[in-house]
Copies of this chain bind each other. A is one copy, B any other.
Amino acid sequence: MQQRSIRRVAVVGTGTIGMSWAAIFLSRGLEVSASDPAPDAEARLRRFIDDAWPVLARLGPVAATPPHQLLTFCADPETAVSSADFVQESAPEREAVKAAVLARIDAVLAPDIVIASSSSGLLISKLQASCRHPERCVIGHPFNPPHLIPLVEVVGGAQTAPATVERAMAFYAAIGKRPIHIRREVRGHVANRLQAALWREAVHLVAAGVASVADVDTAISEGPGLRWALMGPHLTFHLAGGAGGMAHFLEQLGPPLESWWDDLGSPSLTPSVRDALTVGVAAEAGGRDIAALAAERDRFLVDLLALKKSSGS
């Protein structure tokens, strides 16, 4: 597969994830050609970019070229990808929908162009199956909000060429994201499985009456969540082992941890559990609507990322 420098990125699907991808690509001075079937998609995308721009500028230098000059909104995916050097697909998270979009793009696109899917949990082996050139298809899964969260999960499927994974990794790293290569495809990739595991126990603790929704959240955001913004769970436990590190940790705390594993819950999202979660989180939000909470989160994330950058961590 030819190494071609990436100047123009097609963003296929401009919902929450696609809009955010478009903003970060534009901030790096890349041309973006976007498409989305929603009638108000272009206006919504342009408003999102206007809102995201000053936020991105706080995180680091953004392109001198005004973003709207670099952005073309296209009538369909085929037009959007026609002169693209890289494709980021962010269609709705349904296997049939995504597979069909990938096949449409693949049918018209030069075979040396990588098609990355933002899928949060589907297997690329399934999504690439109807493509003529499945070897250039890969998962490039960002985290919400993608213009702020550095992580991108890169996963190849049964037919993905190793060079495709390498190109996607290199591209995401070059635009300042933090890609990780997931070696074996599993449902939910890595980070969503970890989130799902944490949330399963969080739901269990609420469902079993151990703690309120708000208190379970506080147990994370005023507790281990503070450490996880810097270090993942393995390194955190390496430190918990003291001078002996992970080996000592496993010796001392392996047995209690395994006993807690055995005791973890397996809740179901029954109607009454759903009610408890919905009512509990509304109490926790305490009148702050989603827009206010999202603004609070994004302000915090910008400050946190600036802090991590300045401390070199």
Q: Residue A305 at the B interface, CB < 8 A?
A: yes
Chain B residues within 8 Å of A257, by CB: 196, 199, 269
State whether B196 touches A260 (Cβ < 8 A): yes
Chain B nearest CB from A225 CB (Å) reads 3
Chain B nearest CB from A166 CB (Å) reads 15
Tell me the nearest residue of chain B to A192, going by C-beta.
B260
Contact with B along A184-227 (1 / 0, CB 8 A): 10111011111111111110011011111101111111111111
Size class of the contact patch on chain A: 35 or more
Chain B residues within 8 Å of A230, by CB: 221, 225, 296-297, 300-301, 304
From B16, B184, B191, B290, give the contact of A219 (CB < 8 A): B191
State whether B264 touches A196 (Cβ < 8 A): yes
Q: Residue A175 at the B interface, CB < 8 A?
A: no
Chain B nearest CB from A216 CB (Å) reads 6
Q: How far apart are the CA atoms of A238 and B311 in the complex, in Å?
A: 31
Question: Told that A182-B215, A193-B264 touch, could you supply 5 new A-B pairs with CB distance under 8 A?
Answer: A149-B227, A153-B219, A216-B233, A216-B234, A225-B230
